[in-house]
Structure 1
Amino acid sequence: MKITGIEAIPYAIPYHHPLKFASGAVDTADHVLVRIHTDEGITGVADAPPRPYTYGETQVSIKNIVEEVFAPQVIGLDPFDREKVHAVMRRTINNQVAKGTVDIALWDLAGRTLGRPVHQLLGGWTDSMRVSHMLGFKPAQELLDEALRFGEEYGITTFKLKVGRRPLSLDIEACHVLREGLGADVELYLDANRGWTANEAMQVLQQTDGLGLTLLEEPCDAKEAMSRRRLVEKSPIPVVGDESVPTAGDASRELLSGGCNAICIKTARSGFTEATEILGLCTGLGVDVTMGNQIDTQVGSLATVTFGAAHEATSRRAGELSNFLDMSDDLLAEPIAIANGRISVRDVPGVGAEIDGEKLSRYRTDR
């Protein structure tokens, strides 16, 4: 089998309402669908979510790097020779989302070719993941109303609160209102998207002590090395590296230097191959992992479920899997469903992301 072509198709689907957080805001999913074609007529599919305010990649840059740089060097290779494909991609620095998407498409292609679900090829630990829902920048009572609604409609009992606002009192109030309104059995954790300094993060931890918060994700920029290390040492809960750990090398640097003591894995930026390397590093060092979200579509969320359900360590915590509910539509022919707070893997060859051709034609922006 040989790779005969790679497509990078830009498309845009609006959100129901703008999503706001410390590092930016989005009102449209302007993503890139990557398809790898072979001479046996089998195609692998994956979704790339550009996040210029986090990683510097844009819809245009992902399309260009995939089609103009990677494709000419990858066409003609056997899609099962992933190391050769990765050697090609490593020659270009950064561009993590573009590389991760190509990798997921290769795994999808492998599963389709072998007639096996990719979650089994990766490990096959379980067949579903618990769902964590992200709560964005809103007044405290609106956040509580949303959390209660998602608990009632979808059975979700874990919520990630986006923080990093100034004044700090806005986020502190939200923590107290959510805990009082949701009760002690609902899990709450924070993600500041580098919105605070390390010292501000410590103030928030002090003023939310006793609320049972479980994690503090990316409270400040990793460049704030000394203060961040002090925060990790003093924090009563794990400090999670996210934007600071897109690669296995970054994860090892932050863990060994004391910049964090837990890791958020996002398949959208690492693919399945590097995500496996990051997971092995974390399990070897005995640190917790979470499965994160790049404000993914259903195609991207399905990839997260596929990897997260494949491993015991990534299945322990709820994965951030519900952002697709904020989209007005999606490309999947068979939509994802959240039942009893969980999303199931697809027991079909590959990842299971069958694309609705009519919807792709409607939303693509290159025609």
Structure 2
Amino acid sequence: MGGLVLRSSGRAGGEVKIERIEAIPYSIPYTHPLRFASGEVHAAEHVLVRIYTDNGLVGIADTPPRPYTYGETQESIISVMRDIFAPQLIGLDPLEREKAQRVMSRTVNNPTAKGAVDIALWDLIGKSLGAPVHKLLGGYAEQMRVSHMLGFRPAPELLEEALRFREEYGVTTFKLKTGRRPLSLDIEAVRVLREGLGEESEIYLDANRGWSANEALEVLRRTEGMGLSLLEEPCDAAEAMGRRRLVQLSPIPVVGDESVPTPGDVARELLSGGCTAVCIKTARSGFTQAKEILALCTGLGVDVTMGNQIDTQVGSLATVTFGAAHEATQRRAGELSNFLDMADDLLVEPIEIRDGVIRVREGPGVGAEIDQGKLAHYRQDT
């Protein structure tokens, strides 16, 4: 398996053009496995995307393969970049984002590969203008509150982890991965977390389609009064009748995630009653489609959250960039901390969580400067 490097013939008419594209596979281990209903992850086996222009600028983005969610692997991402996207994107001006979207839309699926291309183009645009991308996107705020994701572990260990994050990083919002059978495991975890964290911490659930609609209703019944704020992707959206009944009966918003990767999916699920809130993940939508999804949600009065693809710091920085740029996405804590479960990362300047928040980068672009030594150590194509 090798990364790709494709080149164009150079400038045309003095305009800035995309000259070459790299897709570099790399792997960084996690300090402990992250387990949830749709799978588990032992290492960040991602693809770093770099888009070069003929005037020397480089746009950067990270691509997280999630075969159990989107069907993508490192190999498939490299292949679609090399064989399909790059030959059509080379020669475009980075400002021609809509042309790039049109090129990529001809190929079905491959959401994180498309998202990485879009984020890298935005990074190039910011660098070419000397402006932070979060200001180009909207510039609403300079920071985002952090939500920490808790995976499948015994309830006492989950509480210990949550208390540590609250003490060390000031994080007070926690997303509990659920969807286990028997249901008592998840219900007990909720109870232990609520009793141990008190009322000042927010807790919400993400079942990753692990339950049926009726099982989700039973969990809601048995956790009534525990102050849960959201219920994310409780069952498969294909379970249409049960899902609609669940949404109608739920006392808290039901968040679409895996069921709403594109603006069209969002429109379908909201209009059909499949969810009452939407999780935006820049890793699968880029910034351009994320803005379209956000516009749909704000226009319909639907809450949004900023989600996590178990992102590296490069991916988390993209989430902060988009989330802080808009009032609606900045309103809730974003899922931004799971890079702390990694043994290492690629950024020259690591992300810091202080007082429960992460600040945007003020330099041009998204602000992800890659440590070349670390990339050389972890890349898998050399």
The alpha carbon displacement at 1:277 in A equals 0.1
Q: 1:140 Cα deviation (Å)?
A: 0.7
User: For residue 53 of structure 1, what is the aligned residue in structure 2?
Assistant: 68
Whole-Å Cα distance in 2 between the matches of residues 211 and 185 of structure 1? Answer: 12
Matched, 1:7 2:22: yes
In the other structure, the counterpart of 1:208 is: 223
Distance in structure 1 (CA, Å) of the matches to 2:226 and 2:275: 21
Q: Provide, for residues 95-143 of structure 1, a one-character-per-residue CA deviation record: whole Å limited to 9, x for no partner.
A: 0100000000000000001000000000000000000000111111111
Report the alpha carbon displacement of residue 93 of structure 1 after superposing the two structures with TM: 0.6
Query: Structure 2 residue aligned with 1:91, among 90, 106, 128?
Result: 106
Partner of 2:58: 43
> Residue in 1 aligned with 2:256?
241
Q: Which amino acid letter does the alignment assign opposite residue 57 of structure 2?
A: I
The 1-side partners of 2:266 and 2:41 are apart by 27
Aligned equivalent of 1:272? 287
Counterpart among 345, 353, 364 of residue 330 in structure 1: 345
Give 2:37's aligned residue: 22
2:21 is paired with a residue whose SS is strand
Distance in 2, matches of 1:255 and 1:327, equals 35
Q: Which residue of structure 1 lines up, in the alignment, with residue 205 of structure 2?
A: 190
After superposing on structure 2, the runs of 4+ consecutive aligned residues of structure 1 that deviate more than 6 Å are none
What is the correspondence of 1:310-349 to structure 2 with a 5 Å cutoff?
A: 310-349=325-364
Mapped to 2, the partners of 1:8 and 1:282 lie a distance apart of 32
Aligned residue for 1:215, secondary structure, equals strand
3-state SS, counterpart of residue 214 of structure 1: strand
Which of these residues, 194, 199, 222, is aligned with residue 214 of structure 2? Answer: 199
Aligned to 1:298: 313
Give the drift of 1:288.
0.3
Question: Is 1:108–2:123 an aligned residue pair?
Answer: yes
Q: Structure 1, residues 281-301: CA drift from partner, whole Å, max 9, x if none? A: 000000000000000000000
User: Corresponding residue for 1:141?
Assistant: 156
Q: What is the CA deviation profile of residues 287-343 of structure 1, one whole-angstrom value per residue up to 9, with x for unaligned ones?
A: 000000000000000000000000000000000000100000001010000000000
Percent pairwise identity: 75
The residue type paired with residue 173 of structure 2 is T
Deviation at 1:67, TM superposition (A): 1.7
Task: Give the total of aligned pairs.
Answer: 367
Write the mapping of 1:119-198 to structure 2, written as runs, cut at 5 A.
119-198=134-213
Distance in 2, matches of 1:231 and 1:346, equals: 40
Q: CA deviation at 1:66?
A: 1.0
Code of the aligned partner of 2:359 = S
Q: Distance in 1 between matches of 2:100 and 2:126?
A: 17
Which consecutive unaligned segments of at least 5 residues does structure 2 have?
Answer: 1-15
TM-score by length of 2: 0.96
RMSD: 0.4
Partners of 1:118 and 1:48 lie apart in 2 by 19
Alignment counterpart, residue 223 of structure 1, candidates 238, 249, 258: 238
Q: CA deviation at 1:185?
A: 1.0
* AA aligned opposite 1:223: A
